[in-house]
Amino acid sequence: MSTESLLSLPVQAPQSVPDTAPLVSRLAESCGATWVDADTIDAWAALGGDRVVLLAGDPVRHPEGLDVAVVLPELQRSLPGRFEVGVVRRHEEEALARRFGSHRWPTLLFLRDGQYVTTLPGMHDWEVFLRKTEEALAAPVSRPPGIGIPLVAAATNGDGCH
């Protein structure tokens, strides 16, 4: 018996990495969340009421996004009827994060009646998460954060700086 035959193993192609983590997909498949993206989020949010969108981020760089994906249905059960959940496929998250001024991963994006309310970034201890979620649900609608450069009208009376 030759040693060559003992070392011959079949070569398999590497498995592709799923675009969206299974725990995030589970929110839509088993927990009643709705898939949203840049094209559908406005119509979904305009359906009314409070809406919370999970921007989980890259699970390798931000593994706590998977923790938030597990905790989010528990928050929804603890606050029954208070909000609907939306989830975003990984390759579509960056566009929504930019649009709503989110710079941290993971983030919960709060919307109400089609308007921006706030974001809740990161993973928290349960009591803190519950309190911050309740605060976000009670907060008034606001303007999404911009890039930090205020727009100022040019002075028409010559008092402008240039």
Which residues make Cβ contacts (< 8 Å) with residue 71, sequence separation at least 6? 123, 126, 129
The beta strands (E) that lie in 90-129 are given as 107-112, 115-121
Query: Which residues share a beta bridge with 86?
Result: 34, 53
Predicted pLDDT of residue 146 = 72
Predicted pLDDT of residue 157 = 54
Enumerate residue ranges in the chain where pLDDT < 70: 1-18, 147-162
For 110, phi and psi rounded to 5 degrees?
A: -100, 130
Packing angle of the helix pair 64-78, 22-30 (nearest 10 deg): 20
Predicted pLDDT of residue 162 = 47
Predicted pLDDT of residue 107 = 98
pTM, to two decimals? 0.80
Predicted pLDDT of residue 159 = 53
